[in-house]
Amino acid sequence: MLELLSENRSFGGLHRRYRHPSSELNGPATLAVYLPPQALAGERVPALYWLSGLTCTDENVMQKGGAHRLAAELGLALVAPDTSPRGAEVPTDPEGGWDLGQGAGFYVDATQAPWDRHYRMHSYVVEELPALLEAELPLAPARSISGHSMGGHGALVAALRHPGRYRSVSAFAPICHPAACPWGRKAFGAYLGPDPRAWAGWDATLLIPDAAERLPLLVDQGSADPFLDTQLRPADLAAAAEAAGHPLQLRLQEGYDHSYFFIASFIDDHLRHHAAALRAPG
């Protein structure tokens, strides 16, 4: 089912790009996997799923995230899906924006036409992709999840909606409260419909009060991120976590912006956080 598109040796492991037919996305999907040296030596290794942000593909984090060296040392696989379904028949923003449609799937399962035929990134990332990869690659069924911006939020929602499925979760500059910001309102309005009551189950800040599992959240946010106050709203997440007693380590990193320079600067902390959870017994 996995068609190999390319392969590069990296830090003793392999960076591979694959294509496969996806039932959730109703068409072909492209993704990247980093297999650490331990996987090539016959070990089944745990996996960190990485969800990228608006306008990205699998390539951004693999080329600019700076994660391979430590993932190789820690024996972690990295899995980077695309950020939306793709293709000529897949609808995209009628206004031509980059914050809706292709490259902007927001990791939800759309309920509204025309989006609902392809835009099921949540079920793809949480269910279909791990089942496929664990069947075809030397991956253990031990998973953690992280991501950036739209993908940081997607990671938080994946963990909050699926207690027990992830050993750990973290995010870089997540869109913390999409129901209360322009990017989120536009995307959720299209994918989930105009009634904000339909959005609550897809919004990390709104999921926290009733979360069935209090999995600690590690969040890094740059203080010089141009999207901080308008789109990302980490204070909303912090207030919800505080009120619910949900463990949150929110680190404001002085002078860092929204780019992959910020991510690469702190990716090691996140990899160690996830490796500790993934390598723990049970």
Ligand X SMILES: N[C@@H](CCC(=O)N[C@@H](CS)C(=O)NCC(=O)O)C(=O)O
Please, what is the minimum distance in Å from the beta carbon of residue 149 to ligand X? 3
Report which of 13, 11, 29 is spatially closest to residue 21, judged by C-alpha positions.
29
- Beta bridge pairs of residue 253: 222
Q: Do the beta carbons of residue 72 and residue 12 sit within 8 Å? A: yes
DSSP E strands, the chain: 3-10, 13-22, 27-35, 45-51, 77-81, 139-147, 169-172, 217-222, 248-253
The tokens for 218 are: 């590690």
- Given 92, 112, 123, 259, the residue binding ligand X (CB under 6 A): 259
Query: Which of residues 85 and 130 has its CB atom nearest to ligand X in the complex?
Result: 85
Site for ligand X in 67-126 (CB under 6 A): 98
Which stretch in 132-140, 148-156, 191-199, 234-242 sits in contact with ligand X by CB under 6 A?
148-156
The tokens for 7 are: 């392969």
234 touches ligand X by CB under 6 A: no
- Annotated catalytic residues are 149, 225, 258
Report which of 33, 73, 72, 46 is spatially closest to residue 167, judged by C-alpha positions.
46
Query: Which of residues 17 and 246 has its CB atom nearest to ligand X in the complex?
Result: 17
Site for ligand X in 190-229 (CB under 6 A): none
Instruction: Say how many residues touch ligand X, by CB under 6 A.
Output: 13
Site for ligand X in 23-62 (CB under 6 A): 53-56, 60
Please, what is the minimum distance in Å from the beta carbon of residue 24 to ligand X? 22
User: How distant, in Å, are the alpha carbons of 9, 112, 163, 167, 189 from that of 108?
Assistant: 33, 11, 17, 21, 12
User: How distant, in Å, are the alpha carbons of 108, 156, 178, 185 from that of 252?
Assistant: 27, 18, 20, 25
Query: Which of residues 38 and 102 has its CB atom nearest to ligand X in the complex?
Result: 102
Query: Which of residues 99 and 236 has its CB atom nearest to ligand X in the complex?
Result: 99
Query: Which of residues 205 and 231 has its CB atom nearest to ligand X in the complex?
Result: 231
The tokens for 155 are: 């990671």
Please, what is the minimum distance in Å from the beta carbon of residue 210 to ligand X? 28
Kindly list the residues in this chain that would bind ligand X in the complex (CB under 6 A). 53-56, 60, 64, 98, 148-150, 258-260
